[in-house]
Structure 1
Amino acid sequence: MSSDQFDSALDLLRRLPPHSTAANLNRICALAPDLTEELLSSVDQPLQTRQCKKTKRDYLLCDYNRDGDSYRSPWSNEFYPELEDAEMPSERVRKMEVRMGEAVDIYRELYYEGGVSSVYFWDLDDGFAGVVLLKKTTPKSSSEGGWDSIHVFEAIDRARNAHYKLTSTVILRLSTGNEALGDMDLSGNMTRQVEQDMPVQDDGSHIVNVGKLVEDMELKMRNLLQEVYFGKAKDIVGDLRSLQPLTEANRDKATHQEMINSMKR
């Protein structure tokens, strides 16, 4: 694989519309099959949903529960389609994965009031790692939207504490349209990272620590998105497009300026 090709592919994806990342990624992989594995593990794209055949519960697909063309369900711990000699988490890590999945499922219902969540853990030589996935979409109508959050972490065990490294990515998609205002599409992604040492007494402490890190990061990123995406978009749309006639807008500005001038006297 050429590093120049890989860098060019990433640069191209960054310049294309974010809401079409999945389709554009598939096109690039078809043109350059040698880049497929590296691109799938490097490019964040909206999460896809699949139903567990054994439990009938929905789960999310990502590169961290994929082995070839098969994906592992966090609810049954089985790969679909079935896969022989698949790499599975150890018994200890699997137990933590189940507990974390139950906790995140409650968090999803309380904060998102719907959607789908999934948690996947795997073993490391000096600890373990995992990913917490959350997805919420709005019904298809004149206004559509989607929120995908991907929280990848590492937990390195130390004496009486653990070192956590969390990398969080949020993918936001919003679109609306009507006859009066026309169509608007707002989409993009944001990535943030944090490292922190936290006390650990047992495996249950890892669940609490990771949950706190993810919850705090989601809150910070939601506030940033509200400020950057919605705030800036509101200012730009308000300046460029208005239902108020131009003559009235100019008259209001003149009145506003006159009031300011009178206060300066």
Structure 2
Amino acid sequence: MRRLPPQNMEENLSQLIDLAPHLQDDLLNNVDQPLKVQRCKVKGRDYLVSEFNRDGDSCRSPWSNEYDPPSMESPVPSPKLRRLEIAANEAFDTYREMYYEKGVSSAYFWDDDNDAFAGAVLFKKVGEDGRKMKGAWDSIHVFRATERGRNAHYKLTSTIMLYTITDRDETGKLNLSGSMTRQTEADYPYDEPQAHIANIGRIIEDMELKMRNSLQEVYFGKTRDIVNGLRSVDSLIESRKQAEIQKELVSRLARREKDLGKAKQNRSDT
């Protein structure tokens, strides 16, 4: 599933569940799907829908803490963790504006045990340029924070799903897509609940930068090399002219070296 196009993930997952219905729970829990955008009816703000805020057919808004459609028995974070979740959503909304300019972000926290809690920080940006270009970036960061005295230990699993589709005269049809998953662990000082937000933001920022650089250098760089090796943007006539000029320059340099060699030989004979 990680090697199939992210934009077709939902359809492929549905077909796979039809083939192996006994694996439905495992597949839904382990296969990352592209995020969906939904609007909070109470606060009037967009939020992201994923398995981290879904309970059955209802989805919880991080802005109002209410489910849509309403569900009285669905889980919600404790009051203490809810206050931290509200602050995290405001902080990561600023982060989204700085790094993505547009798009949607959401953060969801849930209680784990007495000394730990877990959460997910999500980002999605969709770009379209009419019918000639479209693409999407989905970042899914799932973490677990464990308090250890004055320090906190964080374990992060990050997944990025990216696709870009173009159909232009100069490039033709191009569909480039894929996903990447990385894990990391870190310890940071902890003295108050709000420190968790800064620590989680730091580790997510570092991870996103590393994954973005890897995508740019390895995947897009390799694709660019392959395309440049297969197809040139210059016309065939210009390429032939440059080849003839290069051949003529090489020939003249060879004749000049030959003439210099003869002149040196004549001087030595004299």
Quote the offset at 1:181 in angstroms.
2.8
Cα 1:249–1:163 shift into 2, 3 Å: same
Cα 1:206–1:253 shift into 2, 3 Å: farther
Q: Would you say 1:29 and 2:14 are equivalent positions?
A: no
Unpaired stretches in structure 1, ≥5 consecutive residues: 1-12
Quote the offset at 1:109 in angstroms.
1.1
Per-residue CA deviations over 1:127-151 (Å, capped at 9, x if unaligned) read 1010000001112521111111011
Aligned with 2:209: secondary structure?
helix
- 124-133 or 79-88: which moved more? 79-88
Quote the offset at 1:240 in angstroms.
1.0
Query: Match for residue 128 of structure 1?
Result: 117
Paired AA for residue 172 in structure 2: G
- Answer yes or no: is the 8 Å Cα contact 2:142–2:158 preserved in 1: yes
Aligned with 1:146: secondary structure?
strand
Cα 1:117–1:250 shift into 2, 3 Å: same
Q: Would you say 1:43 and 2:15 are equivalent positions?
A: no
Query: Match for residue 3 of structure 1?
Result: none
- Equivalence map 1:172-191=2 (5 Å): 172-191=162-181
- Answer yes or no: is the 8 Å Cα contact 1:157–1:163 preserved in 2: yes
Query: Match for residue 50 of structure 2?
Result: 62
Query: Match for residue 263 of structure 2?
Result: none
Q: Distance in 2 between matches of 1:195 and 1:259?
A: 58
Per-residue CA deviations over 1:206-259 (Å, capped at 9, x if unaligned) read 111001111111111111111122211111111111232446446646866998
Query: Match for residue 242 of structure 1?
Result: 232
Aligned with 1:64: secondary structure?
coil
Identity of paired residues, percent? 52
- Equivalence map 1:153-168=2 (5 Å): 153-168=143-158
Query: Match for residue 89 of structure 1?
Result: 77
Paired AA for residue 130 in structure 1: G
Query: Match for residue 267 of structure 2?
Result: none
Unpaired stretches in structure 2, ≥5 consecutive residues: 258-270
Q: Would you say 1:193 and 2:193 are equivalent positions?
A: no
**How many residues matched?**
252
Aligned with 1:233: secondary structure?
helix
Q: Distance in 1 between matches of 2:51 and 2:249?
A: 59
TM-score relative to the length of structure 2 = 0.86
Quote the offset at 1:25 in angstroms.
0.9
Q: Would you say 1:113 and 2:104 are equivalent positions?
A: no
Query: Match for residue 62 of structure 2?
Result: 74
- Answer yes or no: is the 8 Å Cα contact 1:170–1:189 preserved in 2: yes
TM-score relative to the length of structure 1 = 0.87
Query: Match for residue 138 of structure 1?
Result: 127
- Answer yes or no: is the 8 Å Cα contact 1:130–1:154 preserved in 2: yes
Q: Distance in 2 between matches of 1:131 and 1:253?
A: 56
- Answer yes or no: is the 8 Å Cα contact 1:151–1:167 preserved in 2: yes
Aligned with 1:24: secondary structure?
helix
Query: Match for residue 4 of structure 1?
Result: none
